[in-house]
Structure 1
Amino acid sequence: MKQISSLRKTHLPSFYRLTIALFILVAIVYWQDLSCIFSHPSQHTQQQQPIFIKEKDNGVATGFRESEGGCDVFNGKWVWNETARPLYEEGECPYIQPQLTCQEHGRPDKGYQHWRWQPHGCSLPSFNATFMWEMLRGKRMMFVGDSLNRGQFVSMVCLLHSVIPESAKSMNSLDSLAIFKAEEFNASIEFYWAPFLLESNADNAVIHRVTDRIIRAGSINKHGRHWKGVDILVFNTYLWWMTGAKMKILQGTFKDETKNITEMETEDAYRLALKNMVKWVAKNMDPHKTRVFFTSMSPSHKQSKEWGGDQDGNCYNQTAPIEDPTYWGSESSKSIMQVISEVFNKAKVQITFLNITQLSEYRKDAHTSIYKKQWSPLTPEQLANPRSYADCVHWCLPGLQDTWNELLYAKLFFP
């Protein structure tokens, strides 16, 4: 009894009592979330189905539920939400390139900012910037690809930067790499320019407007050495392949005096690049430490006749989404998606697929159109016909690409 009595009189120092109490509090609050963060999906195959946030009729997240058989968050509809969208204001994010600031460049409407993606059968978790930074503490997240992936990178920075004090954040660019750092969390969100993933003659991050595009076979390590050590890797590649002509493949190096160049159908060349990416991931990424994602093709809306619109129209003056749930863009989109499906189904490594294609197909209203910084002065003929220079490929921010990142957030932390 004396021994028990003496133990009761022993007190831990206040610092340790506070630390233990804080740890218990965090464990209680975030236990459901922490249990799945950065885990490899194969570790859950014998456990419960994916967990998603419930949503009341008024759109307020209230807790968790299990969806029988899982829930396809990429299958749903766009719902108007004037109170909770956009997730940030254009003028509040200084990192948006002038090619994407539609309000600054005179767009008269804001409707494109107020649509929320609602999956059938479940709801996306509410995006929480502070929670995400905590989960990224000491880690690197990198987007790799073309200007559309750069837009998703900027969207992610805009979603996250406001909770970081001005003195504790920075954005720096060097050649193909742009890095946003949050010092408090020792974390970074990064973008690496590699439009084909493989080495190409379009690899200059600033001067890359080449019409005769050439990629070098088996050259993914040229860029891949910059991706090693990243904790979350988000790939995309699509836009630069769509030339309407066969792709030129270089055997050898760009320094060779006599270049051995062959031509290949776009789908075959695209398949070659994706296989190189999968092999690189298998060789260089530890699946227990790294999460790898691939964002599917971002659709364009260059011909309004595809959705039953004007014969000569495009995305210009479009202010509402396509309502037909069966709408699916061009045939070239289907063929590329088939290649992606083929390669990923055969892959022996875990790469999470972000299927943003069809949900983005509906959003003919969300492009930058004519409301952006122009690369060169417009001719009188162009000014007289705005449709002729409308950008129906890239997207205004805030807007559609914020939803891409909400889906990434859901797959990353609530797999």
Structure 2
Amino acid sequence: MASFSISAIVVLTILAAKEIEGGGGAGTCNIYEGNWIYDPSYPLYNPADCPFLESREFDCQKNGRPDKNYLHYRWQPTGCNLPRFDAHDFLQRFRGKQLMFVGDSLSLNQWQSLTCMIHTSLPQAPYISNKIGGLSNFTFPDYKVSFLFSRNAYLVDIRSEIIGRVMYIESVEYSRGLWEGMDFLIFDSWHWWTHTGSDQLWDFIREGNATYKDMNRLVAYEKAINTWAKWANSRADPAKNRLIFQGVSPDHARDLSRNYLNNTIPRTWASMNLTGLVLSSNSFSGELPEELSNLTNLTDMRISDNNFTGKIPDFIQRWSQIEKLDISFNNLAGDIPSNFVNLAKADYIDKVHSCLKKNFPCSAPSRDYKYFLYINCGGEDVVINNNTRFEADVEFRGASMFYSRQNWAFSSTGIFMDNDLDADAYITTNTSALKNVSASLLNLYKTARTSPVSLTYYGLCLGNGNYTVSLHFAEIVFTNDRSFNSLGKRIFDVYIQEKLVLKDFNIEAEAGGDGKPIIKNFTVAVTSHTLKIHFYWAGKGTTGIPLRGVYGPLISAIAVEPNFKPPKVNGKKKHVALVLEVAGGALSLCLIILCILWRKGCLGGKISADSGNSFFIAYVLQERGNLLELVDPALGSEYSSEEAMVLLNVALMCTNAAPTLRPTMSQAVSMLEGRTNVQELLSDPGFSTINPKLKAIRNHFWENPTQTVSMSTEGPLADASSLSNVDKADDSVILD
């Protein structure tokens, strides 16, 4: 990491230097050939002398590193000597220039290192430092030199839109305005293709006019970096604007896996204030040092796939903050100590992952068991019949991998034969027209997950009992016409709970044609809280028609529903999404807060507070019968759609633009408790009687529900005094 972290600064030093000793000038010496040599006169600065240094990330000594030898190395080219850094000479040669680092933590590291080198060398030189959003500026006014840092880890545009954060892999229009005014630009790129979940800083990918939830990450990265490269090559006069590209930044040092490291773990590591130590897939050996017991702040310790020996140490129980612990695939002996149960925060404290154990055991308490499961295989979240939400399944990988969600998972095995593609596609989109499919079910069959050999879905932590498993199929690749596509045949087997339920299954033949959905229902007993559905290609059917590599099992959607009434928790129905257990004044406060959240557009789902028009979109969704699209997608199918509909409809009533159409508090309580049926909302909720422009906005969203507009309403939507017809409280509430 060190050679990368100072390479740009070395280059800048050479560009500013008078000459390079022994080489005759910067153009005749290959500065990239050489070695790191020990030089006790280094380092060039002490982090303690830089008041602006972000010590949490870049001060290794303050973070607990005990050794200091790594600070005393410098780069020595083979054929010349680099001049020692001279801050005054450097600033003089860059006088009147602007230099910008662009990228992630690597560029931030270099920007801070350069400013620290200059400041500690010229401590009396005045400087101005400021930060606005992701742009930081450090200026030495006496020299009229500015050093900037722009946090842009993707090097392409990411824009906030109504659907979420969209990464435009073919655009740098938002960023180039900053770059093109610089005299020197130093870029690096983040390894963003490896990050998912909360570490993923985008929600959708835009390519041309198409928007994707995800795509092959390396393909997306290649397209994004080519977009940046095209801009770099199109600059009017590159000689006036120097550009350095350093490549992809390395991962942060707490993950040392797959680095060909060997020998024993140094005992001195125990004196560091480590929170994570990931050493998997190396060649470490010996026993785990007893001193590691001092690492009481560890949250992540993974040492799998090494050659450690000895007993599983008891001192692991002292790691009370541990969340991930993997000691598998070593030569450790003995049983797991019983005191490991004290590691309350750990979600993985076994030597073997649960997916490798018989029946995929569930460790959740009975109150957390699931009883319904809906998966849109290969597709996005979709709501059918206004209340059943099928969860998205858009993981693009599938060659040999295991993917898990909160209450389901799948494993896929195999590579498609002879298709000459660098990356196989394990999600397919319909090429044949869908037939006999209602509009509400259409999105279940537009896409499907496929596999060349084996595809297995797991329902996790289900309550034991008999269930109806519904498998949704539609042949969306092959056709039933006179074209070459019609010659293909897809044949595979289906097992549920290890029992063969479909032998030599041909979707097209069973459904009576291509593009026609067919649902196969099975009664299945779940006895160990796990459901296993296995799709297996047994070598039958075609493999090269209409294209090579088109074969194997294909599944559109899966639905699992109990053939029994799910148990209650504490005498009440098990609620996952929203539970209201309030009374008296607390209920009044809860309902008022709910109304405020609604007016601010904060109820989650596809309507965000940033849209500025969620109030109107909500009524359009209600009129279209799609009100459940307001429910946060993170809940999946694990919520009561009936309760959600009651709550959302009451919220709509509470925020009605016409005061006379709002319920009283007693009416609202009665509806929430289920004693009164929710009234049918008026199709036009009083908008036209208040302001014709509001009606125009509503009509706009009826025709264009995914767009936003900005329109003056010439006054507030409703004054504070008309908040509701509720029983008057002492305190007034003002809506934003």
Normalising to structure 2: TM-score of the pair?
0.31
Residue of 187, 198, 216 corresponding to 2:168: 216
**Equivalent in the alignment of 2:132:** 174
In the comparison of the two structures, how many residue pairs are matched? 260
Contact 2:66 / 2:271 at 8 angstroms: preserved in 1? no
**Which amino acid is the alignment partner of residue 261 of structure 2?**
G
**Equivalent in the alignment of 1:8:** none
Contact 2:188 / 2:249 at 8 angstroms: preserved in 1? no
CA displacement 1:179-210 (0-9 Å, x = unmatched): 000000111000001110112379xxxxxxxx
Q: Distance in 1 between matches of 2:159 and 2:69?
A: 39
Contact 1:73 / 1:123 at 8 angstroms: preserved in 2? no
Q: Distance in 1 between matches of 2:265 and 2:148?
A: 39
Residue of 42, 48, 51 corresponding to 1:91: 48
Asked if 1:295 is matched to 2:263, the reply is no
CA displacement 1:246-286 (0-9 Å, x = unmatched): 99632469xxxxx8216443333222222222222233452
Q: Distance in 1 between matches of 2:234 and 2:324?
A: 54
Asked if 1:274 is matched to 2:244, the reply is no
SS at match of 1:274: helix
In structure 2, relative to structure 1, the CA distance for the partners of 1:176 and 1:107 (3 Å cut) is: same
CA displacement 1:102-160 (0-9 Å, x = unmatched): 22233222112111122223232322211110111111000011111111111111111
Q: Distance in 2 between matches of 1:298 and 1:312?
A: 26
In structure 2, relative to structure 1, the CA distance for the partners of 1:186 and 1:113 (3 Å cut) is: same
Higher relative contact order (CA 8 A, sep 6+): 1
Contact 1:305 / 1:312 at 8 angstroms: preserved in 2? no
**How big is the shift at 1:37?**
5.8
In structure 2, relative to structure 1, the CA distance for the partners of 1:262 and 1:51 (3 Å cut) is: farther
**How big is the shift at 1:65?**
3.3
Asked if 1:115 is matched to 2:73, the reply is yes
**Which amino acid is the alignment partner of residue 227 of structure 1?**
W
Contact 2:87 / 2:122 at 8 angstroms: preserved in 1? no
Residue of 180, 183, 193 corresponding to 1:241: 193
CA displacement 1:316-340 (0-9 Å, x = unmatched): 6799xxxxxxxxxx9xxxxxxxxxx
In structure 2, relative to structure 1, the CA distance for the partners of 1:223 and 1:305 (3 Å cut) is: closer
> Over the residues paired in the alignment, what is the CA RMSD in angstroms?
4.2
Structure 2 counterparts to residues 30-179 of structure 1, below 5 A: 52-54=20-22, 65=24, 70-82=28-40, 84-97=41-54, 98-164=56-122, 166=124, 168-179=126-137
Q: Distance in 1 between matches of 2:45 and 2:53?
A: 12
**Equivalent in the alignment of 1:309:** 262
Q: Distance in 1 between matches of 2:53 and 2:61?
A: 12
In structure 2, relative to structure 1, the CA distance for the partners of 1:307 and 1:168 (3 Å cut) is: same
Asked if 1:198 is matched to 2:149, the reply is no
**How big is the shift at 1:94?**
1.7
In structure 2, relative to structure 1, the CA distance for the partners of 1:93 and 1:125 (3 Å cut) is: same
Contact 1:142 / 1:192 at 8 angstroms: preserved in 2? yes
Contact 1:304 / 1:310 at 8 angstroms: preserved in 2? no
In structure 2, relative to structure 1, the CA distance for the partners of 1:251 and 1:277 (3 Å cut) is: closer
Q: Distance in 1 between matches of 2:25 and 2:108?
A: 34
**Which amino acid is the alignment partner of residue 239 of structure 1?**
H
Structure 2 counterparts to residues 311-330 of structure 1, below 5 A: none
Contact 1:305 / 1:311 at 8 angstroms: preserved in 2? no
SS at match of 1:52: coil
The answer to which of 221-230 and 243-252 deviates more is 243-252
SS at match of 2:75: strand
**Equivalent in the alignment of 2:435:** none
The answer to which of 234-243 and 176-185 deviates more is 234-243
In structure 2, relative to structure 1, the CA distance for the partners of 1:316 and 1:142 (3 Å cut) is: farther
List, as ranges, runs of 4+ consecutive aligned residues in structure 1 with deviation greater than 4 Å: 163-167, 244-248, 310-313, 315-319
Residue of 280, 286, 291 corresponding to 2:237: 286
**Equivalent in the alignment of 1:381:** 321
- Relative to its length, the structure with more helix (as a share) is 1
Contact 2:170 / 2:208 at 8 angstroms: preserved in 1? no
Contact 1:180 / 1:189 at 8 angstroms: preserved in 2? yes
CA displacement 1:201-242 (0-9 Å, x = unmatched): 79xxxxxxxxx9962122211111112211001111033233
**Equivalent in the alignment of 2:206:** 250
In structure 2, relative to structure 1, the CA distance for the partners of 1:292 and 1:66 (3 Å cut) is: closer
Q: Distance in 2 between matches of 1:268 and 1:318?
A: 43
Q: Distance in 2 between matches of 1:310 and 1:243?
A: 30
Asked if 1:260 is matched to 2:211, the reply is yes
Q: Distance in 2 between matches of 1:214 and 1:130?
A: 44
In structure 2, relative to structure 1, the CA distance for the partners of 1:100 and 1:66 (3 Å cut) is: closer
**Equivalent in the alignment of 1:347:** none
In structure 2, relative to structure 1, the CA distance for the partners of 1:295 and 1:142 (3 Å cut) is: same
Normalising to structure 1: TM-score of the pair?
0.53
Q: Distance in 2 between matches of 1:275 and 1:384?
A: 37
In structure 2, relative to structure 1, the CA distance for the partners of 1:175 and 1:126 (3 Å cut) is: same
**How big is the shift at 1:70?**
4.1
- Relative to its length, the structure with more strand (as a share) is 2
Q: Gapped runs of 5+ residues in structure 2?
A: 1-13, 273-280, 282-294, 300-318, 328-736
**Which amino acid is the alignment partner of residue 171 of structure 2?**
S
**Equivalent in the alignment of 1:184:** 142
In structure 2, relative to structure 1, the CA distance for the partners of 1:81 and 1:37 (3 Å cut) is: closer
In structure 2, relative to structure 1, the CA distance for the partners of 1:120 and 1:94 (3 Å cut) is: same
Q: Distance in 2 between matches of 1:218 and 1:106?
A: 43
Q: Distance in 2 between matches of 1:85 and 1:306?
A: 27
**Equivalent in the alignment of 2:670:** none
Q: Distance in 1 between matches of 2:31 and 2:108?
A: 23
**How big is the shift at 1:312?**
9.0
**Which amino acid is the alignment partner of residue 90 of structure 2?**
M
Contact 2:45 / 2:120 at 8 angstroms: preserved in 1? no
SS at match of 1:225: helix
The answer to which of 278-287 and 127-136 deviates more is 278-287
SS at match of 1:95: coil
Q: Distance in 1 between matches of 2:324 and 2:220?
A: 39
**How big is the shift at 1:310?**
5.7
Structure 2 counterparts to residues 305-384 of structure 1, below 5 A: 306-309=259-262, 380-382=320-322
